[in-house]
């Protein structure tokens, strides 16, 4: 939504009255997963003790060598202005008694810098952006449209879901499938309400499809966070970076995985084991801080990965409390008192009562870790420009938010850095996408040249995208390709024998068991074998429902395919990363390599997973070279 608004602002500044932005979402936009974000968004409050330099340093430290200095500075420098701008659009930030934005501490921060709206920050942020888009007539909404594929000129035609073993490899010298001539031309989607495929041709596409942490069985993410955009990029021959970097949040409700935000610890909540002891001190997070007086980067406010690792050790040492959903520790907020809990943590209190069965004013909350945030994503510059496997920009293609790997988070995201990333990078991507100098020329023959996006053709009830009536051979070929892609996916309906629910269950179970807080070669090999088996079974997956309208059987199978594709990449990269760094901890390789390298996952022509390794310095140079203008910071 940030990207859409930025594009509209760019159009307005240039007097392009007839330009249109298509906002496409598989759910009603207010159901996007951002609505669930609780704790807040990071940004230095001007005039306070905190500094941009410190925000940069904390973020790079958290990123454990995989963060890009330029990308971090880009977001940090623009964060305060984006957060203030959001307020002008209606965001109700919590305030101090003096009227300044109230900020709280999150893990890994030297100074408090997380702006918040109680513990419903994502809800208010999404609402603010959404209601602003409603005021813009040039933003056309395509709600409940599932995007099936990207349309790129010269895109490879191979289907990802073919057979082929995962083949991790190493060495930066591998062949790349780069094709610098490719450009984004739109998307092919499916209108769930009308039961029709739709081709949306566009001069530029911004992917903001979210992460992939729902692939794990125990996850804080909603059911829609299934890596769709990443799997589309992979099918289009584009690389995905650092897929193995999956953040496990230390404090979630057992069973459901519902998040109890880090803000609860930022406000002074403490973690205790079965014996009531502040166990974190025994796992390198001490010295113990006084109860209710959290201190920077210590104990409960240590980095998330360290807290999850401490839980893992405590669990194995028999220090957790057994439940039917595994061992738990207690998050104790009682000393904060009812008034603070009601004012600062009302959502946490409600979740604990409704889904945890405890009242945090009177009882501690049982918590254990769950998959939470995926650092891996589509390779982009700090501005969200997508790069291909050779590091060249793909004209007119952008990605922002959790689906992108800009270099901000590195190997481990600091809490509250991601909401602000969606604002800053979304705006940058939208501005570039709308710029007349955008490398992607608008489609020439149908519609005015300044039309950034327009609904192209709707299909007849026969469920195929019709052939183009256009006289432009390029556009006609694109629409024909869109029709072929839609038919490919639609052909899954009413076919198959393999239970999608069973594939889904096995996927979540194996990722929880083998690709969690700690990994090793044997476990990852088991995960890879299971995923290849699931991938093979997916080729014959059953879609019982043949309905055209709101066929959730089918759309969930599409999401399952995306999760499988991304999970295969994540496991292959985890096998190849024989070191411990950030969110990727190997029991059999506890050291950290001297040279920090990114993993780059692509698919070969047969659909097998390939992994290449790229030194971080080379990735930073590629991003800088692909960034227009002198001051790319």
Ligand X SMILES: Cc1cc2nc3c(=O)[nH]c(=O)nc-3n(C[C@H](O)[C@H](O)[C@H](O)COP(=O)(O)OP(=O)(O)OC[C@H]3O[C@@H](n4cnc5c(N)ncnc54)[C@H](O)[C@@H]3O)c2cc1C
At its nearest, how many Å lie between ligand X and the CB of residue 438?
A: 21
Name the minimum Å distance from CB 460 to ligand X.
22
Q: Provide φ and ψ at 83, rounded to 5°.
A: -70, -40
In the complex, the residues that contact ligand X under the rule CB under 6 A are 24-27, 29, 32-34, 36-41, 121-122, 146-147, 208-210, 220-221, 224-225, 228-229, 259, 261, 372-373, 401-403, 416-419, 422
Alpha carbon distance 2, 125 (integer Å): 11
Closest residue to ligand X: CB criterion: 401
The answer to whether 198 and 458 are in contact (CB under 8 A) is yes
Question: Which helix (DSSP H) or strand (DSSP E) does residue 417 occupy?
Answer: helix 417-434
598 catalytic? Reply is: no
Residue 59 host element (H or E): helix 52-62
Q: Is the dihedral of CA 96, 102, 104, 108 positive or negative?
A: negative
Tell me which residue of 132, 122, 105 sits closest to 8, measured CA to CA. 132
Instruction: Return the number of other C-beta atoms located less than 10 Å from residue 189's C-beta.
Output: 26
Rg value, the chain, Cα: 23
Smallest distance from the beta carbon of 324 to ligand X, in angstroms?
23
**Prior bond of 287 cis (ω within 30°):** yes
Q: Answer whether 394's CB lies under 8 Å from 388's CB.
A: yes
Shortest Å distance, C-beta 435 to ligand X: 22
Which two structure tokens, joined as six digits, stand for 214? Answer: 């729902």
Of residues 168 and 369, the one with the C-beta less far from ligand X? 369
Q: In the bound complex, what is the minimum distance in angstroms from residue 252's beta carbon to ligand X?
A: 9
- Least separation in angstroms between residue 594's CB and ligand X is 31
Task: Label residue 513 left, alpha or beta by phi (over 0 means left) and psi (-120 to 50 means alpha).
Answer: alpha
Q: Measured from the CB of residue 227, what is the shortest distance to ligand X in angstroms? A: 8
User: Residue 291 CB, nearest distance to ligand X (Å)?
Assistant: 24
Catalytic residue among 265, 330, 383, 409: 265
Nearer to ligand X, 256 or 499 (CB): 256
Q: Tell me how far apart the alpha carbons of residues 410 and 72 are, in angstroms, rounded to a whole number.
A: 9
Distance CA 373, CA 214 (A): 9
Which string of DSSP letters, residue by residue, matches 125-165?
HHHHHHHHHHT-TTEEEEETEEEEEEEEET-----S-S---
Strands (E), 400-480: 404-405, 453-458
- The least distance separating ligand X from the CB of residue 61, rounded to whole angstroms, comes to 17
Q: How far apart are CA 225 and CA 374, in angstroms?
A: 10
Backbone angles phi, psi at 632, to 5 degrees: -80, -5
Tokens 């409603």, located at residue = 134
CA distance 447 to 142: 19
Residue closer to ligand X, measured from CB, 273 or 421: 421
Q: Which residue, among 184, 187, 141, 138, has the nearest Cα to 20 in the 3D structure?
A: 138
d(CA 213, CA 226): 7
Beta strand pairing call for 404-405 and 377-379: parallel
Least distance (Å) from ligand X to the CB of residue 471? Answer: 30
Nearer to ligand X, 153 or 417 (CB): 417
Closer to ligand X by CB, 251 or 614: give it: 251
Q: Cα–Cα–Cα angle for 287, 292, 298, nearest 5°? A: 30
Nearer residue to ligand X within complex by CB, 224 or 575: 224
Minimum distance from residue 279 beta carbon to ligand X (Å): 24
Place of tokens 């692939």: 215
Q: Which is nearer to ligand X, 79 or 507 (CB)?
A: 79
Q: Interhelix angle for 121-134 vs 2-13, to 10°?
A: 30
Q: Which of 555, 533, 553, 537 is nearest to 545 (CA)?
A: 553
Task: Count other C-beta atoms under 10 Å from residue 411's C-beta.
Answer: 26
Of the listed 249, 483, 537, 568, which one is catalytic? 249
Active site residue 249: yes
Tell me whether residue 19 or residue 188 sits nearer to ligand X (CB atom): 188
Q: Is the Cβ of residue 117 or residue 571 nearer to ligand X in the bound state? A: 117
Residue 227's region, left for phi above 0, alpha for psi from -120 to 50, else beta, is: left
Query: Measured from the CB atom, is 126 or 389 closer to ligand X?
Result: 126
183 or 259: whose CB is closer to ligand X? Answer: 259
* 3-state SS class at 500: helix
Catalytic center residues: 249, 265
């Amino acid at each position: 939504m940030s990207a859409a608004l930025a594009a509209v602002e760019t159009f307005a500044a240039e007097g392009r009255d007839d330009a249109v932005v298509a906002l496409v979402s598989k759910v009603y936009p207010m159901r996007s997963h951002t609505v669930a974000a609780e704790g807040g968004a990071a940004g230095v409050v001007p005039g306070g003790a905190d500094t941009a330099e410190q925000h940069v340093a904390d973020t790079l430290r958290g990123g454990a060598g995989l963060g890009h200095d330029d990308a971090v500075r880009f977001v940090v420098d623009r964060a305060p202005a984006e957060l203030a701008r959001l307020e002008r659009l209606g965001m109700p930030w919590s305030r101090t008694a003096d009227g300044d934005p109230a900020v709280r501490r999150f893990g890994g921060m030297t100074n408090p810098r997380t702006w918040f709206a109680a513990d419903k920050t994502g809800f208010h942020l999404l609402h603010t952006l959404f209601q602003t888009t409603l005021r813009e007539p040039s933003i056309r909404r395509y709600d409940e449209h599932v995007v099936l594929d990207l349309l790129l000129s010269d895109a490879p035609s191979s289907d990802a879901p073919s057979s082929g073993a995962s083949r991790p490899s190493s060495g930066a010298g591998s062949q790349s499938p780069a094709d610098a001539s490719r450009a984004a031309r739109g998307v092919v989607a499916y209108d769930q309400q009308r039961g029709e495929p739709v081709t949306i041709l566009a001069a530029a596409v911004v992917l903001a499809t979210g992460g992939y942490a729902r692939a794990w069985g125990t996850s804080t993410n909603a059911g829609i966070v299934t890596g769709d955009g990443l799997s589309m990029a992979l099918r289009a021959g584009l690389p995905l970076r650092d897929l193995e970097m999956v953040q496990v949040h230390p404090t979630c409700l057992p069973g459901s995985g519902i998040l109890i935000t880090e803000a609860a610890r930022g406000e002074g909540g403490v973690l205790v084991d079965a014996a009531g002891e502040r166990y974190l001190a025994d796992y390198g997070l001490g010295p113990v801080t006084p109860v209710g007086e959290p201190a920077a980067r210590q104990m409960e406010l240590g980095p998330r990965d360290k807290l999850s690792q401490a839980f893992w050790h405590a669990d194995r040492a028999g220090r957790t409390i057994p439940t039917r959903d595994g061992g738990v520790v207690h998050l104790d907020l009682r000393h904060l008192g009812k008034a603070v809990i009601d004012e600062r943590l009302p959502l946490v209190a409600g979740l604990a009562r409704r889904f945890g069965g405890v009242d945090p004013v009177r009882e501690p909350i049982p918590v254990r870790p769950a998959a939470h945030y995926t650092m891996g994503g589509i390779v982009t510059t700090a501005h969200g420009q997508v790069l291909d496997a050779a590091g060249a920009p793909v004209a007119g293609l952008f990605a922002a938010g959790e689906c992108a790997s800009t270099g901000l988070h590195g190997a481990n995201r600091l809490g509250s850095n991601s909401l602000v990333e969606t604002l800053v990078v979304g705006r940058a991507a939208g501005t570039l996408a709308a710029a007349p100098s955008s490398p992607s020329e608008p489609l020439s023959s149908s519609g005015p040249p300044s039309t950034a996006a327009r609904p192209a053709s709707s299909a007849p009830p026969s469920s195929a995208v019709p052939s183009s009536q256009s006289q432009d051979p390029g556009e006609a070929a694109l629409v024909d390709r869109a029709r072929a892609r839609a038919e490919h996916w639609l052909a899954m309906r009413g076919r198959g024998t393999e239970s999608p629910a069973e594939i889904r269950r096995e996927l979540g179970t194996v990722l929880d068991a083998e690709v969690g807080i700690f990994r090793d070669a044997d476990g990852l090999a088991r995960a890879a074998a299971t995923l290849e088996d699931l991938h093979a079974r997916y080729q014959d997956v059953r879609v019982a429902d043949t309905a055209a309208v709101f066929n959730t059987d089918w759309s969930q199978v599409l999401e399952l395919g995306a999760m499988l594709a991304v999970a295969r990449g994540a496991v292959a990269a985890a096998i190849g990363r024989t070191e411990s760094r950030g969110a990727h901890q190997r029991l059999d390789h506890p050291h950290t390599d001297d040279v920090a390298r990114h993993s780059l996952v692509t698919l070969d022509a047969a659909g097998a997973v390939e992994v290449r390794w790229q030194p971080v310095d080379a990735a930073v140079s590629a991003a800088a070279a692909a960034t227009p203008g002198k001051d790319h910071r």
